[in-house]
Homo-oligomer: A and B are copies of this chain.
């Protein structure tokens, strides 16, 4: 029988479970492009700096900064534009003192330049723009047409036109330095990082086309109960359709798991034990939607104990709903016995199952849950020493969001369907007052 047969606060209970999950699932190598929502299995380092060359952050002129010092509207600096750096081309131009090169945002800066003057702070005085073999006359005050992309500038540039610069630039101004985004050899992502769109982009920017990630955890789900029937069947008197298999499967999928539905098992110890042992053998995690009567819960405890070591870690969590949750582990695999009530089952799976799925993938810092702040529309009663979760609807109010509790028994799935989130009443509170600002977890 369980070593801890007492009711624990949710944070302690979760820590107890996660401490059992020491092994990360075996890694696999996949295309970076397909790695959204997966978890890195190894740290990743930058094979080269990013950017690999100095880039302009502005449309303007690459210059030697010293040539602009002291420049102002009344006393401009004069520079000779010796050519243009086309996008995607090396910047072969060699700037002498007093020279500049036309550059576009994102374009490469010549070695001999150390800053960029924004085009808005310059004015063309006159001269000739060489576009291939053509010569375009540039009259005073007119900016060169930056929409024209001339062919590559020759290696021996000649004087094209002169500009006035009205504002000094400092060394490095408007220039991205080599490695400013990420330095060569720098750790760009640790192991155990959940990959978001920007992470995928960051890897591809470095040419990292494949990534080693943890295998997606297989989450076996069993529903139990003589009264439970598959959703496709018509429910006779006393019968209800299985909900929990599907809500848990959806949540498992959202966390990166692969749900495997093991079906509905009657309230019979041997039948439940056999089904549970079979599913646990092939899955990385097992969830029993355990029914709500004391007898069925006791049977679930016995099944989990028989499955292996350490078995049941705790039976009872200081939350409402969901107090009779059974949290266990067998040989490093989480095994949960959820209450049969659909609201309790979802809230408890969110509390224990979702973090476990992330942890099996090696996620170190669990993804932060989104909450919104809202003003409470009416009092909520609670008891100190218990964390309450109250489904709530969110509406725009005169001074921000208004959270209206959706009261209903935890047997009622539609309390969650009609809710936008869950108000959490903290462990040490005796309830919340109307008008109070509360945080509502998006659910």
Contacts and interface: CB of A to CB of B under 8 A. Distances in A.
Contacts of A55: 240, 411
Interface string A52-92: 11010101000000000000000000000000011111110
B88 A239 contact: yes
A182 interface: yes
A371 B412 CA distance: 28
A15 interface: no
A299 interface: yes
Nearest to A409: B57
Interface residues of A, number: 106
Interface string A336-363: 0000101000100000000000000000
Contact of A414 (B57, B202, B409): B202
Given A90-B238, A106-B291, A267-B149, A413 B372 contact: no
Given A53-B238, A57-B411, A209-B232, A104 B293 contact: yes
A250 interface: yes
Nearest to A421: B368
Interface centre among A189, A250, A373, A442 (most CB of B within 10 A): A250
Instruction: State how many copies of this chain the complex holds.
Output: 2
Interface stretch (A93-101, A153-161, A193-201, A305-313): A193-201
A370 B370 contact: yes
A413 B205 contact: yes
Interface stretch (A162-170, A211-219, A223-231, A376-384): A223-231
Given A91-B238, A198-B346, A201-B246, 9 more contacts: A51-B240, A104-B293, A106-B227, A149-B267, A149-B295, A181-B414, A197-B251, A370-B442, A373-B439
5 contacts: A59-B293, A107-B227, A146-B294, A180-B409, A189-B417
Interface of A: 32-33, 36, 50-53, 55, 57, 59, 85-91, 104-108, 119, 145-149, 176, 180-182, 188-189, 196-202, 204-207, 209, 225-229, 231-244, 246-251, 253-254, 267, 291-296, 298-299, 340, 342, 346, 367-373, 394, 408-409, 411-414, 416-417, 420-421, 439, 442-443
